[in-house]
Amino acid sequence: MEEYFRKAQTTVYRLLKFRMRSEKELRDKLEQKKLPGAIIQQVIGHFKSLKLVDDRLFARQWISSRLKKPFGPNRIRLELKKKGIDPETAEDAFKEIAGHYNEADVVNALAKYRASKYNDTDPEKIRQRVYGYLLRRGFNMSTIMKAIKTL
């Protein structure tokens, strides 16, 4: 059992070396390595006690980094859900971080930038392309529509 514990510990340290991970991400990776459930639970508990695994902190860091890309709130929420962060934790993190974030300004700037890339294109086609781009990035539809009207 000690050998399994060391293997799991090494795997988690290696993963955390690159970026913070959610508990679900670590659990999934350890399960891929076919480690016993009791060992996985023990290792994750160990890293939680060291404060190296904290889903609340992970959510805040993830939101902060993804807003800088920039991605919209809808896409970020979906990514957090896939990473095993419960919706309540995600919303709490958004409330903490989103105070310094103005989605309308970001969407307007992105829309103008994307529209400038399509020089000799029909204006309606430009609006469609910019709309699709912003929607895929996860911004709110009402904010996108306002930005598209200004193009």
**What kind of architecture, by CATH, is found in domain 103-149?**
Orthogonal Bundle (1.10)
Residue among 71, 40, 61, 54 nearest 136 (CA): 71
pTM over 0.85: yes
pLDDT at 56: 95
**What kind of architecture, by CATH, is found in domain 2-49?**
Orthogonal Bundle (1.10)
Among 10-19, 60-69, 83-92, 116-125, the range scoring the smallest mean pLDDT is: 116-125
3-state DSSP helix/strand/coil % of the chain, to nearest 5: 75, 0, 25
pLDDT tens digits for range 30-40: 999 999 999 99
pLDDT tens digits for range 33-82: 999 999 999 999 999 999 999 999 999 999 999 999 999 999 999 999 99
Tokens 């016993």, residue?
36
pLDDT at 92: 93
Residue type, 135: L
